[in-house]
Amino acid sequence: MAVHSKLFTDGELIRNLTENVSVDDSIRFLYRQYFDFLKTFVISNSGDIHDAEDIFQEVIISFISLVKAGKFRGESTVKTFLYSINRNLWLNELKKRGSSQQRELKYEHGKEENDATVGLAIESRETSQRLMAAIGELGETCKKILVLFYFESCSIKEILGAVNYENEQVVRNKKHKCLKKLEETIRSDKVLYQQLKQYVNG
């Protein structure tokens, strides 16, 4: 069954993700356009289809985070950028798995890139569990309010419709308290703090 898919240029993709427009369609486009291309690298370098799927999911998460943090400035194509993230994530995974698979990748070492932006993706994956733990400490309402405001770009009025509070000011106060609580939690985890700091300042 052919799947109707929207087509986006690189510029449209970046704008969509930055301005939070058609985000789901943009993610679908990235999967349909680039999964087959990127899985080949993983499968031809000691991975299987499940590895390729896991790594691709991380690639897309990292790509969105990097675009939203303004770290992708269109100096390469989206395809090249995704390839670099995919390659670095998979090489890092192989390093963690052990030396036998690493030896098979000797020819790749000469192609290692010192791309700090792509390096952020590796650290982001490494600290993902810490991130989930920090957000998990917030509780469901805080999590919802912060994600709706800072990721989905919803207005306070729209958030009021999604949570059970009296008025917009109460939502606003709650949002401030939630953010403060998250700041404190992240400050207590130095590894996570440093990783996120690189996104903000790096």
Partner 1 sequence: MSMDESLPSNDKIISYLDGLMDGDERSDFEARLRQDPQLQQQLEDARIAVEAVRQFGARERVGALHRELMKELQTEKPEARVINIRRTVRYTMAVAASVLLILVGVQTFNYFHNTPDRLYNDAFVDYSLSLERGVTQNASEIEAEYKRGAYDRIVANVNSLRLTARDSFLTAVSFLKTGQTAEAIHWLLAVDPYSPNYQDAQFYLSLAYLKNKNYKKALDLMTGIHDDPKHPYHANISDALIEKVRKLQ
Q: Does residue 50 belong to the site contacting partner 1 (CB under 8 A)?
A: yes
- Return the ∠ at Cα 149 (arms to 143 and 152), rounded to 5°: 95
Contact with partner 1 (CB under 8 A) among 8, 16, 35, 83: 35
Taking CA atoms, 107 is separated from 56, 91, 99, in Å, by 22, 12, 14
Grouping H, G, I as helix, E, B as strand and the rest as coil, residue 166 is: coil
Q: Contact region for partner 1 (CB under 8 A) — 6-14, 79-87, 106-114, 144-152?
A: 144-152
What gap in Å lies between CA 145 and CA 158, rounded to an integer?
Answer: 10
Q: Which residue in the set 6, 79, 96, 103 belongs to the binding site for partner 1 (CB under 8 A)?
A: 96
The whole-angstrom separation of Cα 150 and Cα 135 is 13
Which residue in 53, 104, 113, 158 binds partner 1 (CB under 8 A)? 53
- Please report whether residue 23 would count as binding partner 1 according to CB under 8 A: yes
| 159 interacts with partner 1 by CB under 8 A | no
Q: Which span sits near partner 1 by CB under 8 A: 8-16, 57-65, 74-82, 104-112?
A: 57-65
Long-range contacts of range 145-152, CB-CB < 8 Å, 24 or more positions apart? 145/171, 145/174, 145/175, 145/178, 146/175, 146/178, 146/179, 146/182, 149/175, 151/20, 152/20
Burial of 16: CB neighbours in 10 Å, binned 0-12, 13-18, 19+: buried
Window contacting partner 1 (CB under 8 A); options: 6-14, 48-56, 82-90, 107-115: 48-56
| 169 vs 192: CA distance, rounded Å | 31
Mask of contacts with partner 1, 112-131, x by CB under 8 A? ------------x---xx-x
Q: Which residues bind partner 1 (CB under 8 A)?
A: 1, 3, 23-24, 27-28, 31-32, 35-36, 48, 50-51, 53-54, 57, 60-61, 64-65, 68-69, 96-98, 124, 128-129, 131-137, 140, 143-144, 146-147, 150-152, 175-176, 179-180, 182-183, 186-187, 192-193, 196-197, 199-201
